[in-house]
Chain A
Amino acid sequence: MGRYLIRRLLLAAPVVVGILLITFLIKAAVPTDAVTAMYQGQMSEKDAAQAIAALQAKFHLDLPWYQQLLIYGRDLLHGDLGESIRLRRPVMDEIGFRYVNTLLLTGAALAIALVVGVTTGVVAAAKRNTWLDVTATAIGLFGISMPAFFFGLLLILVVSVWLKLLPVVPHGPIAILLPALSLGLIEAAPISRVTRTSMIDVLRRDYIRAARARGAGELSLILRHGLPNALLVVLTVVGLQIGNLLGGAFIIETIFSWHGIGELAVNSIKWRDFTLTQAIILVSALSYLFLNLAVDVLYAWLDPRVEIQA
Chain B
Amino acid sequence: MRPTSVSNVQIPEGAAGLGKVNAMLTRRRLLISSLAAAGATAGPLTLASPFARAGAPGSANIRIEIDPEGLYNVQSISLIVSNVLGGYLLERLVYLDEKGEPKPWLAESWETSDDGKMITFKLKPGKTFHDGTPFNAEAVKFLFDTILDPNSASPSKGIIGPLEKVDAVDDMTVRFTFSKPFAPFLGLLGQSFFGFNSPTAVKAAGSAYARHPVGTGPFMFKSWTPGTEVVVVRNPNFKQFRPDAANQGLPYLDSITLRVMTEEGVVASALQTGELDVASLTADAMKPFDGDAGYVIITDKHAKNLMFMEFDYKKAPFSDLKFREAISYAIDRAGVLQAAFGGDGAVAQGPLSRGIPGYDDAVATQFGTPYDPAKAKAILDSLGWVSKDGGVRSKDGVPAHFTVRSYADGTTERGLAVIQANLAAVGIQVDVGTSDWGSFYPTLLKPDWDMDLNRWTWSDPSVMSQLFRSPGHRQLLPPNPAIDSALDAADGELDFKKRMQDVSDAQKAIIEDRLILPILTDWPITVTRKAVEGYHLDYLGYVYAGDLKIAAD
Which A positions have Cβ atoms within 8 angstroms of B?
4, 7-8, 11-12, 31-32, 36-48, 50-52, 54-55, 86-89, 94, 97, 104, 106-108, 110-111, 114-115, 153, 156, 160-161, 164, 166-176, 194, 197-198, 202, 205, 224-225, 227-229, 231-237, 239-240, 254-255, 257, 259, 263, 270-272, 292-293, 296, 298-300, 302-310
Q: Which of B43, B273, B437 contacts A168 (CB 8 A)?
A: B273
B390 at the interface (CB under 8 A from A): no
Pick from A31, A170, A229, A310: contact of B24, CB under 8 Å: A229
**Residue B316 at the chain A interface, CB threshold 8 Å:** no
From the candidates B7, B32, B261, name the one contacting A234 in the complex (CB within 8 A): B32
Cα distance A304–B439 when bound, in Å?
A: 54
The A contact surface, by secondary structure, is helix
Q: What residues of chain B lie closer than 8 Å to A296, measured between beta carbons?
A: 12, 14, 18
Decide: B270 and A168 in contact? CB cutoff 8 A. Answer: yes
What are 11 sample pairs from A and B whose C-beta atoms fall under 8 A apart? A7-B15, A8-B15, A97-B226, A107-B39, A111-B39, A167-B270, A228-B24, A231-B30, A304-B25, A306-B18, A309-B17
Identify B48's interface contact among A42, A43, A172, CB under 8 A.
Answer: A172
Q: Cα distance A204–B267 when bound, in Å?
A: 54
Pick the most buried of B51, B75, B153, B272: most chain A CB atoms within 10 A of its CB: B153
Asked if A47 contacts B161 (CB within 8 A), the reply is yes
Which of the residues A88, A172, A237, A304 comes within 8 Å of B50, measured between beta carbons? Answer: A172
Q: Is the CB of B77 within 8 A of A110?
A: no
CA distance A4 to B266 in the complex (A): 50
Quote the shortest CB–CB distance from B31 to chain A (angstroms).
7
Q: CA of A194 to CA of B8 in the docked complex: distance in angstroms?
A: 8
Closest residue of chain A to B466 (Cβ to Cβ) is: A44
Q: Which of A88, A227, A303, A309 contacts B21 (CB 8 A)?
A: A303
Q: Which chain A residues border B434 with CB–CB below 8 Å?
A: none
CB distance from B63 to the nearest CB of A (A): 10
CB < 8 Å neighbour of A107 from B32, B40, B77: B40
Give Cα A73 to B158, complex, Å: 36
Indicate which residue in A45, A270, A305, A307 contacts B475 across the interface (CB closer than 8 Å).
A45
> Given the complex, which residues of A lie within 8 Å of B26, measured CB to CB?
225
The answer on a CB contact under 8 Å between B28 and A228 is yes
Within 1-43 of B, Cβ neighbours of A (below 8 Å) are at 7-12, 14-19, 21-28, 30-33, 35-43
B374 contacts A by Cβ under 8 Å: no
Known: A43-B158, A307-B19. A171 touches B226 (CB 8 A): no
A88 and B157 contact, CB distance less than 8 A = no
> Which residues does chain B contribute within 8 Å of A43, judged by CB atoms?
155, 157-159
What 0/1 pattern do residues 254 to 276 of B give for CB contact below 8 A with A?
Answer: 00000111110110011011010
Rounded to whole Å, the gap between the CB of B491 and the closest CB of chain A is 13
CB distance A231 to B70 under 8 Å? Answer: no
Please indicate the chain B residues that have their CB under 8 angstroms from the CB of A305 in the complex.
Answer: 21-23
Interface centre among A54, A228, A302, by most B CB within 10 Å? A228
Contact between chains at B42 and A240 (CB < 8 Å): no
B269 touches A257 (CB 8 A): no
Q: Is chain B's binding surface mostly helix, strand, loop or mixed? A: loop
Q: Across the two chains, which residue of chain B brings its CB closest to A197? A: B8
Contacts of B37 in A (CB 8 A): 111
CB < 8 Å: which of B44, B51, B442, B475 contacts A40? B442
CB pair A308 B70 closer than 8 Å = no
Q: A86-B69, A257-B227 given as contacts; is B263 within 8 A of A11 (CB)? A: no
When the two chains form their complex, are residues B269 and A160 in contact, meaning their CB atoms are under 8 A apart?
Answer: yes
| Contact (Cβ within 8 A) B155 A42 | yes
A115–B36 touching, CB < 8 Å: yes
Least CB distance, B21 to chain A, in whole angstroms = 5
Contact of A114 among B23, B32, B273 (CB under 8 A): B32
Q: Once the chains bind, are B75 and A88 in contact (CB under 8 Å)? A: yes
Shortest CB–CB separation between residue A190 and chain B, in angstroms? 9
Q: Which of B19, B275, B473 contacts A44 (CB 8 A)?
A: B473
- Please give, as numbers and ranges, the residues of chain A lying within 8 Å of B19 by CB-CB distance: 306-309
What residues of A have a CB within 8 angstroms of the CB of B207 in the complex? Answer: 88-89
Candidates A161, A171, A229, A271; contact of B25 at CB < 8 Å: A229
A40 shortest CB reach to chain B, Å: 4
Nearest chain A CB to B387's CB is how many angstroms away? 37
Contact indicator A88/B438 (Cβ below 8 Å)? no
Contact of A111 with B42 in the complex, beta carbons under 8 Å: no
Complex contact A37–B21 (CB within 8 A): no
Beyond A32-B442, A107-B40, A257-B261: 10 further Cβ-contacts under 8 Å? Answer: A42-B155, A51-B158, A97-B226, A160-B269, A168-B275, A194-B9, A229-B24, A306-B18, A307-B19, A308-B18
CA–CA, A164 and B42, complex, Å: 24
In the assembled complex, which residues on chain A have CB atoms less than 8 Å from the CB atom of B150? 50-51, 54
Given contacts A55-B153, A167-B275, A292-B14, contact A302 B25 (CB under 8 A): yes
- Cross-chain contact A272 with B438 (CB below 8 angstroms): yes
The 6 closest A-B pairs by CB, nearest first: A47-B158, A43-B158, A107-B39, A37-B438, A111-B40, A305-B23
CB distance from A199 to the nearest CB of B (A): 11
For B12, list chain A residues within 8 Å (CB).
236, 239-240, 292, 296
**Listed residue (B11, B16, B228, B437) with the most chain A CB atoms within 10 angstroms of its CB:** B16
When C-beta atoms are compared, the residue in chain B nearest to A308 turns out to be: B18
Closest Cβ of chain A: how far from B298's Cβ, in Å? 22
The chain B residue sitting closest to A160, CB to CB, is B269
Interface centre among B161, B260, B263, by most chain A C-beta atoms within 10 angstroms, is B263
B16 touches A47 (CB 8 A): no
B154 within 8 Å of A (CB atoms) = yes
Min CB gap A161→B, angstroms: 5
Given A308-B19, A309-B16, is A171 in contact with B53 using a C-beta cutoff of 8 Å? yes
Judge whether B449 is part of the interface by a CB distance below 8 angstroms: no
Contacts of B28 in A (CB 8 A): 228, 302-303
Tell me which residues across on chain A come within 8 A of B159, comparing CB atoms: 43
A31 touches B442 (CB 8 A): yes
Q: Determine if B41 and A107 form an interchain contact, defined as CB atoms under 8 angstroms apart.
A: yes
- Least Cβ distance of B539 to chain A in Å? 21
Least CB distance from A93 to B in Å reads: 9
Tell me the minimal C-beta distance from B265 to chain A in angstroms.
7
Whether the Cβ atoms of A169 and B270 lie closer than 8 Å is: yes
Assembled-state Cα–Cα distance A156/B10 (Å): 34
Check: B246 CB closer than 8 A to any chain A CB.
Answer: no
Contact call B262/A87, Cβ cutoff below 8 A? no
Asked whether A310 lies within 8 Å of B16 as measured between CB atoms, the reply is: yes
Q: Would you call A166 and B40 a contact (CB within 8 A)?
A: no
The smallest beta-carbon distance between A160 and chain B, in angstroms, is 6
Give min CB distance, B229 to chain A, whole Å.
10
